[in-house]
Amino acid sequence: MDIQQNLQQVQQQIQQACQQANRTISEVSLLAVSKTKSVEAILHAYQAGQRQFGENYVQEGVEKIQHFEGQNVDLEWHFIGPLQSNKSRLVAEHFDWMQTLDRAKIADRLNDQRPHYKKPLNVLIQINISDESSKSGIQPAEMLDLAKHIKNLPHLCLRGLMAIPAPTDDIHQQKQAFMQMQQLFEQLQRALPECQIDTLSMGMSNDLTAAIECGSTMVRIGTAIFGARDYSK
């Protein structure tokens, strides 16, 4: 499997989607979802120009981050899985971004546990946009209350929103969810103009075109870069 070639194909897809949406490719960043993938695979992606990586499992992500510490590599690590309270310290101490924030209690823990010598932890609020009981995330109506709470935490930096809509191949349904997210994102920007609200993380392999058309600034792609995931370990 050629990770470099896969990355190029994904970037071409993003570029095509940007052209269709009259956006520049610099407006959309690619988060390579590296859960269950080896440090060798991550290094191959890094050597092919990829810098941002997303991990769903705390312990696995921390082990990878520690593997690359002290090596001369400039990686940015995003936590993109559901977070239990008892694992918050590991995320606060090791990751650069936390994309799935959906509770004030977790926000408080991350803020208290973030090392003072590190920059504030970049966070996104996860919205349960398709109202699925199986998914994490808050209801849209709760967004502003949580955002205002985060704004007052000095070791967190609120950067925007994240969503994982219900999977569908119907592009109209895809767009419906993403347009709702875009409206919430703009509402958040208007409500908190003093914050650096610049990131709308939405869109994966099967729906990135619709996501980019609806204003996504970050797409999360795993299998198309690294191949099928291996859960046997």
231 in a structural domain: no
Give a yes or no: residue 148 inside a domain.
yes
| pLDDT band, very low/low/confident/very high, at 29 (cuts 50, 70, 90) | very high
Task: Please tell me the total count of domains within the chain.
Answer: 1
Q: Is residue 21 part of a domain?
A: no
SS3 150: helix
| Residue 28 confidence (pLDDT) | 98
Q: What is the mean pLDDT of residues 145-155?
A: 98
What tens digit of pLDDT does each residue of 80-125 get?
A: 999 999 999 999 999 999 999 999 999 999 999 999 999 999 999 9
**pLDDT tens, residue by residue, 156-187:** 999 999 999 999 999 999 999 999 999 999 99
How confident is the prediction for the chain on average, in pLDDT?
95
Answer with the residue of higher pLDDT: 139 or 231: 139
DSSP 165-195: PPP-S-HHHHHHHHHHHHHHHHHHHHH-TTS
Domain membership flag for residue 134? yes
Residue 76 belongs to domain spanning: 3-16+28-221
Return the pLDDT at 228. Answer: 81
In the chain, the percentage of residues whose pLDDT exceeds 70 is 99
Record the pTM: 0.96
Please check whether residue 7 lies inside any domain of the structure: yes
Asked if residue 23 belongs to a domain, the reply is: no
Q: Is residue 141 part of a domain?
A: yes
Residue 223 belongs to what H/E stretch? helix 223-226
Q: What is the CATH number of the domain that holds 147?
A: 3.20.20.10
Farthest-apart Cα atoms in the chain, separation: 47
Residue 230 lies in a domain: no
Element (H, E) at 127: strand 121-127
